[in-house]
A and B are shown apart, each in its own frame.
Chain A
Amino acid sequence: MADPMRIRANVDASGVTEVKVLMNHEMETGQRKDASGKTIPAWFIQNVTATHGGRTVLSAQWGPAVSKNPFLSFKFKGAQKGDKVQVTWVDNRGDKRTDEATIA
């Protein structure tokens, strides 16, 4: 199973929450070859969804050009300190991972 994400979420005085996410993923392009000359199959995160209180605050579709061990940061309004932010990714093999962080 995939390793956990690292999620940081901080709300500032104006009520804007900044979320920073690091994900564990190879993000293999499908264009590289291994030592024996065989193409390494594509393997990458396709969908990312971030939710707060059941509401989607960001959704993304990714291709294999997103870097290995992806990083993402974004900001949204409407959350308070102590709330939870959940992030889920799904890759092209159907693997899935959900982690959450408490907003500080």
Chain B
Amino acid sequence: MDAGRRDVLKAGSGVSLLALLAAAGWLKPGEAQAADWNKAAFEAKSMEETVKAFGGGTPATSKDITFFSTPDIAENGAVVPIGVASALPKTEQIAILVEKNPNMLAATFDIPAGTEPSLTTRVKMGQSSNVYALVKADGKYYVASKEVKVTLGGCGG
């Protein structure tokens, strides 16, 4: 699983993104209003574009990010439970991405101090795919992946 993930991530070039990170305002205090929705990130088609839209550089693979309550096989792609926990110090943000969805980013969570860097939600998956947990901790981006297969079911039709 790891090999495939690295291939995807290698594609991202971190250099020019660092400048964007500096200019990025998405964590500025007072900006977390209801109207704050990162359109560019949700329209991104790749991990590279998504992280760029967040204002980050190439994420490093991390073993400190774990999936829990996340099945290897989902009986239905309409509801796939995903649990993500980060053991990285100063985790500020957790995002869930589905590689083969039309837009990769499904959800992103800001984790204030006092809130545990661990949460669960449910996402749609159009087909079997890698799921990524992208974590921002102490200003840097990290990522872990897990493959989830989506099955056909029932009587058909």
Contact = CB atoms under 8 A, between A and B. Distances in A.
Interface of A: 16, 27, 29, 31, 46-47, 49, 55-68, 70-78, 88, 90, 96
A94 to B, nearest CB: 9
A60 B106 contact: no
Contacts of A78: 114
Nearest to A31: B102
A59 B106 contact: no
Which of A65, A67, A70, A74 has the most B CB atoms < 10 Å from its CB?
A65
A58 B78 contact: no
B37 to A, nearest CB: 5
A57 B36 contact: no
Nearest to B124: A65
Given A16-B116, A76-B115, A67 B79 contact: yes
Interface of B: 32, 34-38, 41-42, 78-81, 98, 101-103, 105-112, 114-116, 118-124
A103 to B, nearest CB: 14
A16 to B, nearest CB: 7
A-B pairs with lowest CB-CB distance, top 4: A65-B106, A67-B122, A76-B115, A74-B119
A68 B32 contact: no
B115 A67 contact: no
Nearest to B105: A63
